[in-house]
Amino acid sequence: MFIVSITYCTDLSQVELLLAEHLRFLDANYQAGHFLASGPKVPRTGGIILANIPSREALHTLLENDPFYRDGIAVYEITEFSVTKAAANLSELVVQSS
DSSP string across 27-84: HHHHHTT-EEEEEE-SSSSEEEEEE--S-HHHHHHHHTTSHHHHTTSEEEEEEE----
Contact indicator for 26, 35 with CB cutoff of 8 Å: yes
Contact indicator for 34, 53 with CB cutoff of 8 Å: yes
Backbone phi, psi, residue 71, to 5°:
-95, 5
Chain segment 19-71, per-residue pLDDT in tens:
999 999 999 999 999 999 999 999 999 999 999 999 999 999 999 999 999 99
Chain segment 66-81, per-residue pLDDT in tens:
999 999 999 999 999 9
Reported confidence tier of residue 97, pLDDT bands at 50, 70, 90: low
pTM: 0.90
